[in-house]
Amino acid sequence: MRFVLLLMLTLLSFGCASTPNRVEAPHKLEHIYLEPVTNRTSEEALDVIFTQVANDIFSEDPRFKVDLKPIPDVSIVVKPSVDSVSSTAVGFDRRDIAREYQLTVTATVKLIRYGYKTPLAVFKIKRYGFYNAYGSASEVEEKRKECLKRIGEEIFREVAERLYVEGYKEVHRQKVHPD
């Protein structure tokens, strides 16, 4: 009888018979505020195209809450800029006329905790896409814009992944070791 009583007392004291301990989930980066894209190129309306793409990508991503107004000490400000756009002919027809182009876009994205000046992280991303030059001038221009949108989607999907992984690391580091 003493043995059973001693065994039960031991189990209760170490927590085996009690409810399991809860492990607190790590702090996740959720709240983001998207600044409009800054266009550092001579390309017109590139900021509008990329801002729309960024809004679409982050609004559809269930991992983030896009704040209409940044929340102090909570929101991470995503500050993107398009640094360069270049177009290179890569395909030619029988008459040696360029018919396919490669667009290359370089963007910089800074992650800044709202209310602070020093960025948590800075990403430099370079992506490319292709479009053909068959059709009227307006059709070719539309294909070029669609190519820019596809490139923008690739860029901002990568930003979302990096923001989720590296943004979490930085947020956690700042909470543990505030500078």
Q: Where are the domains of the chain?
A: 29-176
Running along the chain, 179 residues long, what does each successive block of 10 average in pLDDT? 57 51 50 95 94 95 92 90 96 94 96 89 94 95 96 95 73 48
Nearest to 156 by CA among 113, 123, 118: 123
pLDDT for the residue numbered 73: 82
CA–CA gap between residue 168 and residue 68 (Å, rounded): 21
* CATH T-level fold of 29-176: Double Stranded RNA Binding Domain (3.30.160)
